Amino acid sequence: MEKHIEQLTKWLQMQVKDANVNGLLVGLSGGIDSSVVAHLIKRAFPNNSLGVIMPCKSHGKDEEDAQLVVNTSEIDSVTIDLTDQHDLLFNGIKQGLEAKEDWNSDKERLADANLRARLRMSTLYTIATNYNYLVVGTDNAAEWYTGYFTKYGDGGVDLVPLLHYTKTEVRELANKLGVPDEVINKAPSAGLWEGQTDEEEMGISYDTIDAFLEGEKVDDEAEKKIINMHERTAHKRALPASPPDFHHFTLE
Ligand SMILES: Nc1ncnc2c1ncn2[C@@H]1O[C@H](COP(=O)(O)OP(=O)(O)OC[C@H]2O[C@@H]([n+]3cccc(C(=O)O)c3)[C@H](O)[C@@H]2O)[C@@H](O)[C@H]1O
Ligand SMILES: Nc1ncnc2c1ncn2[C@@H]1O[C@H](COP(=O)(O)OP(=O)(O)OP(=O)(O)O)[C@@H](O)[C@H]1O
Ligand SMILES: [Mg+2]
C-alpha cells in the first residue's frame, strides 16, 4: 500500500498541475473514505489542501471524528454548518409542492437526504472557487460500481482518487496513512438520517461487494442484487443523455 500512496499522491499533484489550479479540498465527514482522502491531499499539497466539515443535522460524534482526522492529518480545515440552510430550502420546496397538493411524503426522507449531499457539493464548489482548488471525491470501487452516492451530490466532484480501491483496500490505505482506528472501525454511514448505515440500506455488506469486484464467487442472490444496483445507476456514471442532432437524424 505504501507504493499506492506514493502513486496516488503523485497523481493528485499531476491533476492539479494539468488543471492549472492551486490545490485540493475535500468534505470531511468523520468517515473512513474522506479521512483517507484528507490524508492523501495533505501529503500531495502540504500548504494547499483543505478539509471542509459540514454538519447538517448530523450526529455530534461525526464532527468529533472529523476533527480527530484534522489532527492526525494536520490538514487545514473549516467548519460550515448547513442545518439552517437545509431547513430553509427543504421546507420552502415542501411548502411549494404541498400548496399544489403534489408533495410525496413517501419520498420525503430520501429527498431530504439527497438535498444535504447537494448542499455540501454547492458549498465545496463555492470554496473551490475561492481558493482556485479542485474538489476531491471519496467514492471507492464498491460505491462507484453500485451507484451508492447522490448524483451531483457527493458524486459531483472533480477527481475520484479511490475509484479502484475496494472498501477493504481503503481500510488498508487508512491504516498506512495513520487514520485513527476509531474512524477505521466504525460502521460506514452516509449520515443522511439518524442511524443510517450503508450496509443496512443497501441490504448487502461491503465484504460481499468487494468479493464480487475481486471476481470471487458470491451467492446468487447477492450477485443479482449487485448487478441490479449497477445497471439501475448507470446514468450516474455517465454524462447527461442528449438527443442525436436532428439537423441530420430523424427518429423512426
Ligand atoms: N435512467 C435514468 N436516466 C437518467 N437519470 C435518472 C435515471 N433514473 C433516475 N435518474 C435521476 O437520478 C435521480 C436519482 O438519483 P439520486 O438523486 O442520486 O438518488 P438515489 O439514487 O435515489 O439516492 C441516493 C442513494 O445514495 C445513497 N448515498 C447518498 C449520499 C452519500 C452516500 C454515502 O455512501 O455516503 C450514499 C443514499 O443513501 C441513497 O440510497 C432521479 O431523481 C432522477 O433525476
Ligand atoms: N458532515 C459532513 N461534512 C463534510 N463532508 C461530508 C459530511 N457528510 C458527508 N460528507 C462528504 O460526503 C462523502 C460521502 O460520504 P461517505 O459516507 O460515502 O464517505 P465517508 O463518510 O468518508 O466514509 P464511510 O462510507 O465509511 O462513512 C464523504 O466522504 C464526505 O466527503
Ligand atoms: Mg460516511
Q: Whose CA is nearest to atom 5 of ligand 2?
A: 27
Is residue 76 among the annotated active site residues?
no
Q: Whose CA is nearest to atom 19 of ligand 2?
A: 33
Q: What is the pLDDT of residues 110-122, one digit of tens each?
A: 999 999 999 999 9
Question: Is 77 part of any known ligand binding site?
Answer: no
Helix axis angle, 60-73 relative to 32-44, nearest 10°?
A: 30
Q: Which domains does the chain have, with CATH numbers?
A: 2-7+17-238 (3.40.50.620)
pTM passes above 0.90: yes
Instruction: State if residue 58 touches ligand 1 by the CB under 6 angstroms criterion.
Output: no
Is residue 207 among the annotated active site residues?
no
Q: What is the pLDDT of residues 4-19, one digit of tens each?
A: 999 999 999 999 999 9
- Residue 48: all three cell numbers together: 494547499
Q: How far is the CA of 34 from the centre of ligand 2 (A)?
A: 6
Instruction: State if residue 186 touches ligand 1 by the CB under 6 angstroms criterion.
Output: no
Residue 97 confidence (pLDDT): 98
